[in-house]
Amino acid sequence: MSSQSKQLVKVIADIAIALEFTDETLINPDVAIEMQESIAGTLQSLDGVDRKNIANVFECISTLYNGKIADYVRSLPANYGIKEGND
Q: Supply the pLDDT for residue 62.
A: 96
Residue 84 lies in a domain: no
Supply angle C-alpha 16, 21, 22, rounded to 5.
100
| pLDDT by 10-residue block (mean), the chain, 87 residues | 90 98 95 97 96 96 97 97 71
Per the confidence metrics, is the pTM higher than 0.85? Answer: yes
Number of domains into which the chain is organized:
1
Domain hosting 22: range is: 3-79
Q: Supply the pLDDT for residue 86.
A: 47
Residue 18 lies in a domain: yes
Q: Supply the pLDDT for residue 2.
A: 81
Q: How far apart are the C-alpha atoms of 60 and 43, rounded to whole Å?
A: 17
Q: Supply the pLDDT for residue 85.
A: 54
Residue 87 lies in a domain: no
